[in-house]
């Protein structure tokens, strides 16, 4: 028996090694058109969901801002009306007098706070009288009453140019009856806003 030559042995070894290594792995499957379309649709759906989420968050934020703005404006309107009500509070006078009574000084002090808290506010004070006395006398008395209230405020720091005065005498009674109760109501000063009253701030502590 003849021995195998080294070359033959080498060939045999190579053949066996190739056989043991097996066939190379198959290539990975390539996606078909349907799977690519499905992936694209999924990607677009995710992007749309993200956009929807952002838009919803923006709408909710805008709605919160709108409600907050409306609440703020409503609060400003309520405060302005309340301050206007305080500013409109009347003061009254004794018969044939124009001096400020102690209780009415407290009402003027409230108006003083309002004027200080609202530097653009301008007001008018209108003096009134009861029906007793002549028209001329009551016009003069009503003017003294309006000036007395103005002087009270000016003496406490309010600029005189912010306060106008006039007299209606006995021409506009609150109560047209001819008795002491009616006369007591009709002897008065009334206060109105002439400028700067669209938005009014409440004085501190009031």
pLDDT (tens, 9 = 90+) of the chain, 206 residues, equals 455 565 655 565 555 655 555 556 666 666 677 788 888 888 888 888 888 888 888 888 877 887 777 767 788 889 999 999 999 999 999 999 999 999 999 999 999 999 999 999 999 999 999 999 999 999 999 999 999 999 999 999 999 999 999 999 999 999 999 999 999 999 999 999 999 999 999 998 77
Domain interval for residue 128: 114-195
At residue 56, the pLDDT reads 85
Sign of CA dihedral 11, 15, 18, 21: negative
Q: What is the pTM of this model?
A: 0.69
In a domain, 14, yes or no: no
Specify whether the CB–CB gap between 82 and 131 falls below 8 A.
no
In a domain, 155, yes or no: yes
In a domain, 45, yes or no: no
- Measured between alpha carbons, how far is 33 from 18 in angstroms, rounded to an integer? 37
Look up the CATH number of the domain holding residue 181: 3.30.1330.60
Specify whether the CB–CB gap between 136 and 170 falls below 8 A.
no
Structure tokens at 13: 């070894």
In a domain, 140, yes or no: yes
In a domain, 132, yes or no: yes
At residue 1, the pLDDT reads 46
Residue 128 DSSP class: E
At residue 59, the pLDDT reads 82
Specify whether the CB–CB gap between 170 and 186 falls below 8 A.
yes
> Based on the structure, what is the number of domains in the chain?
1
At residue 68, the pLDDT reads 75
On the CB side of 92, how many CA atoms lie within 13 Å of its CA? 13
Specify whether the CB–CB gap between 142 and 167 falls below 8 A.
yes
- Measured between alpha carbons, how far is 118 from 79 in angstroms, rounded to an integer? 13
The DSSP annotation for 25-42 comes to PPPPPPP-HHHHHHHHHH
At residue 31, the pLDDT reads 66
Q: Which of 96, 118, 72, 107 is nearest to 186 (CA)?
A: 96
């Amino acid at each position: 028996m003849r021995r195998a030559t080294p070359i033959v042995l080498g060939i045999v070894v190579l053949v066996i090694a190739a056989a043991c290594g097996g066939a190379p792995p198959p290539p990975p499957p390539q996606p078909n058109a349907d799977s690519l379309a499905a992936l694209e649709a999924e990607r677009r759906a995710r992007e749309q969901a993200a956009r929807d989420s952002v838009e919803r968050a923006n709408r909710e934020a805008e709605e919160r801002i709108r409600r907050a703005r409306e609440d703020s404006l409503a609060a400003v309107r309520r405060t302005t009306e309340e301050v206007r009500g305080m500013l409109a509070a009347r003061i009254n006078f004794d018969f044939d007098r124009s001096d400020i009574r102690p209780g009415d000084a407290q009402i003027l002090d409230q108006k003083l706070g309002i004027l200080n808290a609202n530097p653009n506010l301008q007001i008018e004070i209108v003096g009134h009288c009861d029906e007793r006395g002549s028209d001329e006398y009551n016009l003069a008395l009503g003017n003294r009453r309006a000036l007395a209230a103005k002087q009270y405020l000016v003496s406490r720091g309010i600029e005189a140019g912010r306060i106008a005065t006039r007299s209606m005498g006995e021409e506009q009674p609150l109560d047209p009856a001819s008795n002491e109760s009616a006369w007591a109501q009709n002897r008065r000063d009334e206060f109105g806003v002439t400028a700067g009253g669209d938005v009014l701030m409440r004085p501190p502590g009031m």
